[in-house]
Amino acid sequence: MRVQVLRRGFVISAVACALLAPLAIGQQAQAADKVRFAVGPFQPTPGDTKKAYEPFFQHLAKAMGVEYDLVVTTDWAGIATALANGQADVAWMGPWGYVLANKEGEAQAIATVKYDGKPFYHAIIVGRPDLKIAKWPDDAKGMSISFADRGSTSGWLIPTWWFKIKEIDPKSFFKYREGASHPANETAVANGQVDLATDYDRNLNSMIERNLIGKDAVKIVWTSDPLPNDALVVRKGFDPTLTEKVRQAALAITENDAKTIMPVHYTGWIAATHASYKMIEDAGIAVGIIKPK
């Protein structure tokens, strides 16, 4: 087994696709006893992500009766590209990344993860504790803000969508930048490098629990409506028998099993389909990144 770190841009050029096509074909033709797993940048470093998430993929591989490789992507859009190009067969990925993977390469969601027993979470915007924001977002106009990369659900898509509904362009309303990871966003606010940053509640809680930032290092200034949690996804054309084994192995994980198989707070999976992520797809259409069917 080997772990890779994969970075891919948000848009795949025709030239890149042509160059990657022979590689993808060769990968898809690999023996059925070797599966390529992928996971997004959930932790501050690829090594942290590997340590936290690999036990789950080991569990899947054992249930499938296969050897595996594990790809750790360094951005959220990259994991969608990995599935579309056949560089990954099965992925644990964010909701928006999944919708992009579905649009790029017809990947399919088969399960939604539960966190503390719930299959949903929230996007948030955090700010420096000393900021005077009585009315959001009016009182934050002109402040600096860091969005995550464009493949992130909570760090880019949902806040972008929310501001669009409010007829606000964040790029002119704030001193705007984008492209950071979620942990980097929290750290930047905690260190006073930026006034505001996007994130999601699970990541903030995790960073506080692991003493990566102090409990009072940031404050939440905005919270989204509930969003469907991360998806377990298979690429187009993946072996149907193995797909079913993956699905059943994930759904069979009990809360007690999850204590040793999954990262802290994750408690299992529920069945999902593409329809489970319709609200994320609708947001992507609304901000003009994807086209309606």
| Residue-level pLDDT at 80 | 86
* Model confidence band, residue 138 (pLDDT cutoffs 50, 70, 90): very high
> Is 183 buried (19+), middle (13-18) or exposed (0-12) by CB count in 10 A?
buried
Pairing of β 3-6 and β 175-180: unpaired
Question: Between residues 80 and 136, which one has the greater pLDDT?
Answer: 136
User: Per-residue pLDDT for 187 more than 60?
Assistant: yes
Q: What value does the mean pLDDT of the chain take?
A: 89
Task: Pick the range with the lowest mean pLDDT from 39-43, 121-125, 147-151.
Answer: 39-43
Q: Is the peptide bond before 137 cis (omega within 30 degrees of 0)?
A: yes
pLDDT at 136: 97
Question: Is there a shared CATH topology between the 3-119+228-286 domain and the 123-225 domain?
Answer: yes
Q: 287 with 160: CB under 8 angstroms?
A: yes
Length of the chain in terms of residues written: 293
In the predicted model, what is the mean pLDDT of residues 140-165?
96
pLDDT beyond 50 at 100: yes
Q: Does position 128 have pLDDT exceeding 80, yes or no? A: yes
| Token pair listed for 83 | 């599935």
Which residues lie below 8 Å from residue 283, measured CB to CB, with a gap of 6+?
96, 157, 158, 161
The percentage of the chain sitting over the pLDDT mark of 70, rounded to a whole number, equals 89
Structure tokens of 227?
């969003």
The CA-atom distances, in angstroms, between 94 and each of 89, 152, 224, 229, 242 are: 16, 7, 16, 7, 22
HEC letters along 163-179: HHHCCCCHHHHCEEEEE
Band of the pLDDT at 169, cuts 50, 70, 90?
A: very high
**DSSP class of residue 233?**
E
CB 66 within 8 A of CB 34: yes
126 pLDDT band (50/70/90 cuts)?
very high
The answer, yes or no, to whether residue 111 has pLDDT greater than 70, is yes
Distance CA 35, CA 48 (A): 22
Check pLDDT > 50 for residue 168.
yes
At 252-290, the pLDDT tens digits run 999 999 999 999 999 999 999 999 999 999 999 999 999
Distance separating alpha carbons of residues 256 and 246, to the nearest angstrom: 19
Residue 10 confidence (pLDDT): 33
Per-residue model confidence (pLDDT) at position 42: 85
Looking at the DSSP bridge assignments, the partners of residue 233 are 91, 109
Query: CA angle, 170 as apex, 8 and 204 as ends, to 5°?
Result: 65
Q: Considering only the top CATH level, what class is 123-225? A: alpha beta
Q: CA–CA separation, 265 vs 16, rounded Å?
A: 39
Q: What is the mean pLDDT of residues 194-198?
A: 98
Distance CA 135, CA 166 (A): 14
What's the predicted TM-score (pTM) here?
Answer: 0.82
Q: What is the DSSP string of 4-21?
A: EEE---SS--HHHHHHHH
In the chain, domain spans: 3-119+228-286, 123-225
Top-tier CATH class for 3-119+228-286: alpha beta
pLDDT of residue 32: 57
pLDDT digits (tens, 9 = 90+) for 3-49: 444 443 333 332 233 323 333 333 443 445 799 999 988 888 899 99
Look at 18-27, 152-161, 221-230 and tell me which has the smallest mean pLDDT: 18-27
